[in-house]
Amino acid sequence: MKTGRRTAAAAAFVGALGLSALNAPTAQAADTGITVSDIVINDGKPVVVGTTKEVKPPISFDIALPAGYSTDDPSRYDAFPFLYRGSMETAADTGENFIGPGGYTCFERDTKHAHCEGELHIDPDPSRDEVDSNSDATTWKVGVSLRLFKADGGLKAAEREPRSLTVRLKRAARATTDASPEPVTKGRPITVTGKVTRANWGTKKYDAYGGRTVSLQFRAKGAAAFKTVKKATTGSAGTLKATVTASLDGSYRWVYFGNSTTGVATSAADYVDVR
């Protein structure tokens, strides 16, 4: 449950902001005294990104303000987490290997503390630098941008802090299923084919994903859950094939459970009528 009144909101994408929210001249870099804690990104789960759709993983964090600053005046402070690879300063300054906030809102807990909720913004569009290579499917570090402003609006202090928290980015995968014949006589074979592909962040297309162990699952008509009935390995073209014996009406699907660089792929189910 959210508590306290709303104190601040940042709703613009970093792409629209430029990097002004992160950049501060070196001469002005100084300890702000702001504390950011309890950072949670995407509920602690990996972030899976495809080739075209923007992804907005949820973030939440808490802010504690230094002496002389109050949540009553949110225009005088700014703090938020971001993701980066390599050098934190280079990523934040150039936008390369950097993933920033889409928007966030902070809720006052008292005059010194606020709880903030929002989202990161990942756009796989070729014009963006966020995920433009398959090497980006790895562990990203978490940093925090902190700024304090003077009463006249000028920048008083700014800093970036690395955190021990990490977030793994994964390439999205897809799977298809086709079961035949439909309908089928009880006791006769059913051939279930399919294909597994995964996002190529360099070409912005889905490529065949060979050499993967994939589970064939079946859910009988009226049953609540799917159960694994066989496993198969994708060929070089990402193709799958398995044969089962027709016994009950029900649906078949292929499920690839992913790995350290690739997300889970679950195909649409294909219903077979057994007569």
Indicate if the pLDDT at residue 262 is higher than 60: yes
| pLDDT for the residue 245 | 98
Q: Enter the pTM of the model.
A: 0.89
What confidence score (pLDDT) does residue 25 get? 38
What lies within 8 Å, CB to CB, of 180 at 6+ separation is 190, 191, 193
Considering the chain, what is the average pLDDT of its residues?
A: 91
For residue 13, give the nearest of 116, 130, 126, 97 by alpha carbon.
130
Once rounded to an integer, what is the mean pLDDT over residues 29-54? 95
pLDDT at 227 over 90: yes
Predicted confidence (pLDDT) at residue 15 exceeds the cutoff of 80: no
Residues 19, 156, 109: CA angle, nearest 5 degrees: 85
Instruction: For each of the domains in the chain, give its residue range(s) and CATH number, in order of start.
Output: 6-169 (2.60.40), 173-272 (2.60.40.730)
Residue 246 has pLDDT above 70, yes or no: yes
What confidence score (pLDDT) does residue 29 get? 58
pLDDT digits 0-9 by tens, 55-112: 999 999 999 999 999 999 999 999 999 999 999 999 999 989 999 999 999 999 999 9
Q: How far from the centroid of its chain's Cα atoms is residue 49's Cα?
A: 6
Kindly indicate the confidence band of residue 6, based on its pLDDT and cuts at 50, 70 and 90: low
pLDDT tens readout for residues 117-154: 999 999 999 888 889 999 999 999 999 999 999 999 99
Maximum CA extent, the chain: 81
Residue 176 pLDDT exceeds 90: yes
- In this prediction, residue 8 carries a pLDDT of 53
Residue 47 has pLDDT above 50, yes or no: yes
Residue 46 CB neighbour total at 10 angstroms: 19
Residue 134: exposed, middle, or buried by beta-carbon count in 10 A (0-12, 13-18, 19+)? middle
SS3 content of the chain, % helix, strand, coil (to 5): 10, 50, 40
